[in-house]
Structure 1
Amino acid sequence: MENVRQWDWPSSPVGYLRDVVTAEAPRLETRFRACWTKEALHIRYECQDDHIVATMTSRDDSLYEEDVVEVFIDPFGGGTTYYEFEISPRGVLFDALIHNSLQGKIDVDRSWTANGFQAKVTPGTEEGWLIYEAEIPFADLEDVGVPEPGTVWHWNVFRIDDDREGVRHYSAWSPTGKVNFHISQQFKELVFVKE
């Protein structure tokens, strides 16, 4: 379970990504925090990065084929319908509505768009780090509405990183046991709290 506080980065809990298969520490560290306002969910990723692979420039390009951070958000529960958001190191965005049969059939609806979804990517204060800050408006999440304190959603946070040898490294907050981020049974709770 992760408590997400109203707009308050400094006191927001820090999560750490692990290797998606083994749950061991990944080659490079990825930390994240989340908080919320009445308008949006905000996610901040802090990524150690020694080699950036990011050539794509258009929204909804297949960013997951290069370096990317991702979050899957399921406000409905059950893991069969959820939203996917991705950000490349260049600040390029990908969003989609996912329908998951839980039996291996995944339907990715790229025509769905969160019009207010935005992000910025900046160098960290430490050399070799990138900071990604994402804003996901609740108004863009159809039939969901603004969460109240105590509301529980489900989610998972991911990263894909290519090293200098071209080896891809996959990490997750809640490891899935496979190189597959769409194992929604591994999503964890996201609890909206007011403090």
Structure 2
Amino acid sequence: MTTKAQQNSDTGKLTVLKTADFEVDGKATNTNWAKTNWVSLPQRRKDGKVYATDAKVLYSDSGVYFLFHCQDSLITSTMKEDFANLYLEDVVEVFLWTDESMPIYFEYELSPYNYELPILVPNMKGTFLGWRPWHYEGDRKTRHAAYIETKNNAIVGWNAEFFIPYTLLKPLNNVPPKKGTQWRANMYRIDYDKKSSAWSWQLTRTNFHDFEKFGTFIFD
């Protein structure tokens, strides 16, 4: 996949355009992705190799769509189950803080082999713990797909494409969003090529859970 990041992360704001619902396949083949531009995730920690990471976001009447393209040459991903500690290996992550009056946000992680970690996180002055969804079935389940890209039998990157339904985010406030709604949010990537590297749309002070430093999604 060829990407060109066209939205700058420096403003801390991202306009999220509306779309009709569509299926995800990990290869971003649906034409709805052409509605919006890539946003670059700067590499904040460069202990490993230097790679590019780009993302797109869309929303519909039923949920929010995300697409990540991660340049890579070595996939580090041995966990083969959902709800594992995916952040200890190659992963992309999205944090959605829908209501700034409450220190509770939704976190979603997806690995290169399509294993997921969806959790709700109460964060009380830096003390936080993720809670798994109950009755995680039917229209409360995410839809997700990952794809490892190769060229001449060599790995050149991987994609993560996923859909988070509003039914899973209940009872968080400001859900579903409408035109003009704003959510605080951040997008991340972790890569382990011998040493770990990290990317984030917005720079945080301590760790990925520094929600006060999240950027802003503006739904159009």
- Normalised by the length of structure 1, the TM-score is 0.87
Structure 2: how far apart are the matches of 1:169 and 1:110?
Answer: 27
Structure 2: how far apart are the matches of 1:95 and 1:161?
Answer: 19
Aligned partners of 1:19 and 1:175 also within 8 Å: no
Aligned to 2:195: 167
Structure 1: how far apart are the matches of 2:43 and 2:179?
Answer: 32
Aligned to 1:139: 167
Aligned to 1:118: 143
Structure 2: how far apart are the matches of 1:50 and 1:87?
Answer: 18
Deviation at 1:21, TM superposition (A): 5.7
Aligned partners of 1:79 and 1:185 also within 8 Å: no
More displaced 10-residue stretch of structure 1: 74-83 or 114-123: 114-123
Detail structure 1 runs of 4+ shifted over 6 Å in the superposition: none
Aligned pair partner of 2:44 in 11, 15, 20: 20
Structure 1: how far apart are the matches of 2:89 and 2:131?
Answer: 20
Structure 2: how far apart are the matches of 1:49 and 1:78?
Answer: 38
Structure 1, unaligned stretches of length 5 or more?
none
Structure 2: how far apart are the matches of 1:175 and 1:4?
Answer: 20
More displaced 10-residue stretch of structure 1: 120-129 or 91-100: 120-129
Give the share of equivalent positions with the same residue, in percent.
Answer: 27
Secondary structure in structure 2 of the residue aligned to 1:10 = helix
Give the 5 Å matches for 1:40-189: 40-78=63-101, 80-101=103-124, 103-111=125-133, 113=136, 115-124=140-149, 128-144=156-172, 145-163=175-193, 166-178=194-206, 180-189=207-216
The amino acid across from 2:36 in the alignment is S
Structure 1: how far apart are the matches of 2:103 and 2:77?
Answer: 30
Aligned partners of 2:205 and 2:213 also within 8 Å: no
Aligned partners of 2:14 and 2:218 also within 8 Å: yes
Aligned to 2:24: none
Structure 2: how far apart are the matches of 1:111 and 1:45?
Answer: 24
Give the 5 Å matches for 1:28-43: 28-43=51-66
Secondary structure in structure 1 of the residue aligned to 2:167 = helix
Secondary structure in structure 2 of the residue aligned to 1:185 = helix
Structure 1: how far apart are the matches of 2:111 and 2:95?
Answer: 15
Structure 1: how far apart are the matches of 2:212 and 2:218?
Answer: 17
- Normalised by the length of structure 2, the TM-score is 0.78
Secondary structure in structure 2 of the residue aligned to 1:128 = strand
Aligned to 2:9: none
Aligned partners of 2:113 and 2:147 also within 8 Å: no
Aligned partners of 2:189 and 2:199 also within 8 Å: yes
